[in-house]
Structure 1
Amino acid sequence: MSASSRTCSLLGFAGFSGSGKTTLLRQLVSLLTQRQLRVGIIKHTHHDVEQDLPGKDSFELRHAGASQCLLAGPHRSILTYENTKRQEPDLHESLSRLSLHQLDLVLVEGFREAPINKIEVHRPLHHKPLLCLHDPHILAVATDDPALAAPVPLLDLNDANAIADVIVHWWQSDRLQVSTV
C-alpha cells in the first residue's frame, strides 16, 4: 500500500476501563502490520510510567536532572521526557513526539474526549453508557452484542480481521486523515 499525500492518519479507540481496548489494539496492530501499514501507537495512562531501572545509566542520568533522555540502540530507541508540570497529557503534544513521516496510521487508546475519529469499544455486560450517543467523532462501535442499538455501524469485537479490513478501507479512502494535528 502506498500512502498518498497524507499529513497524518489517526484513529482513536475509546471505551470504559475493562472494555477490551488494549486487547483489540494488540490484535489490530499485528493485523494492520501484516497488511503493510506502518502503525504507531499512543496510549493514554493516568499512572506514572517508568520504563527504566534504577542503576542503569539512562535512569541515573535522567534522575540527575535531564529533561529528556534518548536511549539509542541498534534495534530500538526509547525517548523519555519529563513533563514540565503534572497534568493530563495532551494528544497534540504526544503526536508531535512521533516521527509521523515514518507512519501510515497512528492508533490512539484513550484520549476519550479528543475530537478525532474513533471506534468505541463497548461491552453491554459492563453496564456503561454508549459514548457514541454524545460523541460525533465515533465512526463505529466494536461490541460483543450484535443487537446493540447504536446510531453508528456495529463491528464484531470478536472479529479483529473484519475490524482491520474496515480500518484499511477507511485509511485507503482518506477517512482517517487529519490535516492539523
Structure 2
Amino acid sequence: MIGYYLTHPQVEIDPEIPVPQWSLSDKGRARLHIILKRDWVRSLSRIVASDERKAVETATLLSQACGAPVETAADMGENDRSSTGFLAPEAFEAAADRFFAEPEESWNGWERAIDAADRIEAAVTRVLATHAPDRPILFAGHGAVGTLLKCRLAGRAIARSENQPHGGGNVFAFRLADRSLMCDWTPMEDFHGC
C-alpha cells in the first residue's frame, strides 16, 4: 500500500505572527479543493499532520473528503527557524540554500538539516509502527522536512535540488512495505497516483 506526503499549499504571510501559526491563504484552500474528489484522496484511511496551523488546516480539508480522522504530531513540524524569526523572501531563500548545503551546520541558530531529517524520519517511523500496511496513509506537513524525508526514503544525500517546487502543495508517494520512494514531488493538482 501507499504512503503520501503532502506539503501545505500557499499561506497568509504575516511577519507579526509566528510562522507555525500562519493559516492557509484563499489560494491555498482553492488548490486543495481541486483534489478533494480524487480517488487517491478519497481512499485515505489515516491522516497525520504536523501540529502547525497550516498543516492541520490542510489535513482537515482532506479529512472532510475521505472521512479519515486527523491526528497531529509535534515532531513532524517544519525545521525550527525560530532563532531568526520571519525573513524576507530573498533572505529566506539564501538561508534555505545554506540549510540544505551544510546539513551538519546550524545557520544562525536554525535546527540543523541532519537533525530535522532524523526527527521527521523518526516521526513517520513511529506512526507507521501502529499503522496497518494495507491501508493508505497521508502525512500533511512542510517543504523542508518533507524534502529531508524524501531524501531518506530514496537513499539520497540532502540537497536543495531535492526540494519541492515553489509554492507548496506538492506530494510524493512511497511504498509502506519497504518505505521506498514511488514518485517524486508533483504539484497536487497534477497528481493522480503513482
Q: TM-score, normalised by structure 1?
A: 0.33
More strand by share: 1
